[in-house]
Each structure stands twice: as C-alpha cells, then as structure tokens.
Amino acid sequence: MGAVNSSASDPSRIVVYHRHHARRQRAKALSHLVPALVLLSSLLPLLQGEAPSWVTAAEIGVGAAYVVLLVRELRHLHHHPHHRAAVEWLEIAGAGILALEGYHIWHRHHEAEAAGAPARFHVLPWLYWGGALVYVGLAFGLRHLDARRHLHLHAEGFSLRPNPLVPLRHWRWADIDTLVAVGPADLLIRYRSGREERLSFAHLHEGPALREQLLQHAAGGPVHDENEEPA
C-alpha cells in the first residue's frame, strides 16, 4: 500500500482521491485524441500539395511538442497516477493545436470572402477556440480541484470533502462521543446527543489507511475498533 498523499505545506491536510482515480486519469488521456485528430486533419492539405503557411508550420511545431508531452503523460500516469503537476503542459499544447486550427479555418474563410465569396458567420472556428479555452482551464485548474478534495485533521476535530464539487463537512471532538471502526474502511461516529452516523472511506483511494490515520489522530479520545478481538 502506498503512502497517503499529504500537502507539503500542511501535513494535516491530506489530499484524497477516488479509488478509480488512476483509471479516470487514463480515460482523460484519451480525450487528447481530439487535438491529435485535429492535427492530422491540418496536415492533409500539405499532403495534397497545398503551399505551407506560418500557421501550418506552427501547427506542426506545436504538434511535435504535443506528441512528446503525450508520451511523457502516459508514462507519468503509469508510475505516478496520483501526482498532479502545477501546470498540465499537455493541455496547453492541446489548446495551442485547437487555437491554431480555429485560426486556420477562420483565415481560409476570410480569404474566400475577400476574393468575393458571400460573408457568413462561421461557427467552427469559435468551437475550436472554445475548446482551446477549456483545455487552458484544465491545465491550470486541475491541481486546484484536486486540492479541494481533502481530509483535514486538526486540534478541534476533522473535516472532509471527498468531491471537489460538494461542501466541506466538519466534525468536532466536542460533539463526538466515540469513533468505532467498522469493516475494512468504514467509521461509525457516535455523537454525545445519541445520534449515530456512518462515514465510509471505501470509495477513496487507500480508504483503510485514511481511516486509520483519522483514528490515530483521535487516539487521545475514546476510540474503539469493532474489528478487534475482545481481550
């Protein structure tokens, strides 16, 4: 079992991932087939004898960087699926391809209109530019989204947000009577009011280790493991 991911700046704040995070990251890598197909389509006119332009040269340069980054990303996912770079350069390269291809299409239509073709609004370039903006947002935003998913262990209790899109939940030691470990990765929280709540870590990557770390954090209080044999 690997180490639980904690923030370098705050060891008490542990980044949590879904147990299928690595599989989802590999699926996300498949989304880069879209810029790859766009790159191939931009090279077709060259193969058909069209004179190269600066846009085509830029597409080829960005495309070469894109292929190198794609190979590096796949190797990184194989060895470190739960580590996110500060900037996802593969997404930046994909955005560059989409932006250049959008400009290429717009420029072609602009030249045709200058030569006498009727002026029209062309949706396709804007779709490419919109896609480029999405990729740029992913490049700079994925790490921040990951940081929102965390287990925070602090003096007054703990807090957990397993999904970046849900509110952060807080539990205070002052409200808790006992914590009971149930099954391989669940936790039964018994409140002083008599209410009980079951908190599961089973859907998280290294869920049993996360639960154990929480129990160790609460070791100064009344903690009981239901899975232990009676003395």
What would the mean pLDDT of 16-24 be, rounded to a whole number? 84
What pLDDT is attached to residue 10? Answer: 60
Q: Where are the domains of the chain?
A: 18-148, 163-225
Residue 12 backbone zone (phi > 0: left; psi -120 to 50: alpha; other: beta): alpha
Q: Examine the pLDDT at 148 and tell me if it is beyond 70.
A: yes
Contacts of 201 (CB under 8 A, 6+ apart): 185, 186, 187, 207, 208, 210, 211
Q: What is the pLDDT, as a whole number, of residue 24? A: 80
Residue 83 has pLDDT above 80, yes or no: no
Q: Please give the Cα distance from 41 to 46 (Å, whole number).
A: 10
Q: How confident is the model at residue 1 (pLDDT cuts 50, 70, 90)?
A: very low
The mean pLDDT value for 184-213 works out to: 94
Which range has the worst mean pLDDT, 9-13, 85-89, 154-158, 178-182? 9-13
- Residue 202 pLDDT exceeds 90: yes
- How confident is residue 23, by pLDDT bands cut at 50, 70 and 90? confident
pTM above 0.75, yes or no: no
Asked whether the predicted pLDDT for residue 230 surpasses 70, the reply is no
Average the pLDDT over 149-156 and give the result.
92
Looking at per-residue pLDDT, the higher value among 45 and 152 belongs to: 152
Cα–Cα distance, 150 to 143 (Å, whole number): 12
Q: What is the DSSP string of the chain?
A: --PPPB-SS-TTEEE--BTTHHHHHHHHHHTTHHHHHHHHHHHHHHHTTPPP-HHHHHHHHHHHHHHHHHHHHHHHHHH-TT---SS-HHHHHHHHHHHHHHHHHHHHHHHHHHTTPPP---HHHHHHHHHHHHHHHHHHHHHHHHHHSEEEEETTEEEEESSTTSPPEEEEGGGEEEEEEETTTEEEEEETTS-EEEEE-TTBTTHHHHHHHHHHHTTTS-EEETTSPP-
Specify the pLDDT at position 127.
Answer: 95
Kindly state the average pLDDT of the residues 34-62. 74
Mean pLDDT of the chain: 82
174, pLDDT greater than 80: yes
Query: Are 21 and 205 spatial neighbours (Cβ–Cβ below 8 Å)?
Result: yes
Residue 213 clears pLDDT 50, i.e. is over it: yes
